[in-house]
């Protein structure tokens, strides 16, 4: 559509007052867009700071309950629980992932009992439980696919039995979404949703997360490039998303977030399904560290970065800023 030019058109007219800027604003961030990832650890009344993620702590279950209750009161719709499994329980076969009394399952049950109106998301992957730090089983130095998927199905059912509302396969094994959907349905969990990490890249931005769950030391100098995606690829992301939707994913996710907003936009435009993005630990750490140095305004960059996700088409955002953002939105009446 052709429009007249300057001086008839003056775009600055719509920017001259706060009320007018708000009136014509195209995208808004709302508390209902937020999912808060939290790290749980063993013990009581213990909050352990994560050095590489300023402001983020590993919480014992009793403290995680309190934080979940606050998140629920603020209107955050869901939390994602990640366990810092004790090293003594990590094994090559990741058996602890299938223990109904593992840290994650106990946390799910406890939070569900005390904060029943907040959704709980659990990752399905073996890296928090494996002594080698890989997301799957390793045979002769290779992360095997089909054998791993069998274990992931059992892990998903264990988490659903604990009360998890959304199963989030983050492992990037081929065919795992369809297999997990079948396993959940067969076990009577037809109503449990699947949020697939559909386009998860082999990114350098995951480092602080691996510190948080204690898998960095286990992984050592290894990498996950044989199953996580090549950061150079776009079309492959669309193929992965299409496969996960065909296999029964209810929602799909792009990870990381900010460096991959082009992927978020393409996924949403192509498939028009609920699309989520994960503002990962490295993204959080960069902004937080710069704010600590006084180089950036923490609240402003926090809000601007999350608004970028909405502008790209994300329906929901996993972010470690979630509680902080929710408080700010509440204070400002947003």
CB burial class (10 A; 0-12, 13-18, 19+) of residue 24? exposed
What pLDDT was estimated at residue 4? Answer: 80
What is the set of active-site residues? 200, 255
For 17-70, what is each residue's pLDDT tens digit? Answer: 988 988 998 899 999 999 999 999 999 999 999 999 999 999 999 999 999 999
User: Collapsing DSSP states into helix, strand and coil, what is residue 37?
Assistant: strand
User: Collapsing DSSP states into helix, strand and coil, what is residue 161?
Assistant: helix
pLDDT surpasses 80 at 216 = no
For 242-300, what is each residue's pLDDT tens digit? Answer: 999 999 999 999 999 999 999 999 999 999 999 999 999 999 999 999 999 999 999 99
Q: Which residues, in sequence order, are CB contacts of 5 under 8 Å at separation 6+?
A: none
What pLDDT was estimated at residue 3? Answer: 73
pLDDT surpasses 70 at 81 = yes
- pLDDT (average), residues 125-139: 94
Q: Per CATH, the architecture of 28-331 is what?
A: Alpha-Beta Barrel (3.20)
Domain boundaries, the chain: 28-331
Which DSSP string corresponds to 176-221?
HHHHHHHHHHHTT-TT-EEEEEEEEB--GGGHHHHHHHT-HHHHTT
- pLDDT (average), residues 93-97: 96
Query: How much is the pTM?
Result: 0.93
What pLDDT was estimated at residue 334? Answer: 64
What pLDDT was estimated at residue 34? Answer: 98
Q: Which residues, in sequence order, are CB contacts of 219 under 8 Å at separation 6+?
A: 127, 132, 133, 134, 210
Cβ-based neighbour number of residue 257 at 10 Å? 27
Percent with pLDDT over 90 in the chain: 87
Which DSSP string corresponds to 75-130?
T--EEEEEE---GGG-BTT-GGGG-TTSHHHHHHHHHHHH-TTSEEEEEE-STTTB
What pLDDT was estimated at residue 1? Answer: 61
Higher pLDDT, 12 or 217: 12
pLDDT surpasses 70 at 104 = yes
What pLDDT was estimated at residue 93? Answer: 95
What pLDDT was estimated at residue 213? Answer: 82
- State the average pLDDT for the chain: 94
């Amino acid at each position: 559509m052709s429009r007249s030019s300057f001086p008839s058109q003056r775009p600055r007219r719509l920017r001259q007052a706060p009320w007018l800027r708000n009136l014509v604003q195209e995208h808004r961030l709302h508390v209902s867009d937020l999912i808060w990832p939290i790290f749980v650890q063993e013990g009581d009344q213990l909050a352990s700071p994560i050095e590489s993620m300023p402001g983020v702590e590993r919480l014992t279950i009793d403290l995680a309950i309190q934080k979940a209750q606050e998140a629920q009161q603020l209107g955050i719709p869901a939390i994602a629980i990640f366990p810092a499994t004790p090293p003594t329980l990590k094994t090559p076969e990741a058996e602890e992932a299938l223990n109904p009394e593992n840290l994650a399952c106990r946390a799910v049950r406890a939070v569900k009992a005390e904060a029943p109106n907040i959704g709980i998301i659990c990752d399905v992957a073996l890296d928090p439980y494996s002594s080698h730090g890989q997301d799957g089983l390793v045979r002769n130095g290779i992360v095997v696919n089909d054998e791993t998927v069998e274990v992931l199905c059992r892990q998903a059912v264990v988490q659903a039995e604990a009360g998890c509302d959304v199963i989030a396969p983050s492992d990037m094994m081929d065919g795992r979404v369809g297999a997990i959907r079948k396993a959940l349905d067969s076990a009577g969990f037809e109503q449990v949703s699947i949020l697939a990490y559909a386009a998860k890249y082999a990114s350098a931005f995951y480092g602080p997360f691996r510190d948080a769950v204690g898998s960095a030391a286990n992984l050592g100098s290894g990498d996950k490039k044989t199953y996580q995606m090549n950061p150079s690829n776009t079309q492959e992301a669309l193929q992965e998303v299409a496969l996960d939707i065909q296999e029964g994913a209810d929602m799909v996710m792009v990870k990381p977030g900010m460096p991959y907003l082009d992927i978020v936009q393409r996924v949403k435009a192509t498939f028009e399904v609920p699309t989520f993005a994960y503002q990962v630990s490295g993204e959080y750490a960069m902004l937080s560290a710069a704010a600590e140095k006084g180089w950036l305004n923490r609240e402003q960059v926090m809000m601007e970065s999350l608004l970028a996700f909405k502008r790209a088409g994300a329906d929901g955002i996993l972010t470690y800023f979630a509680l902080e953002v929710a408080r700010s939105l509440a204070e400002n009446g947003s």
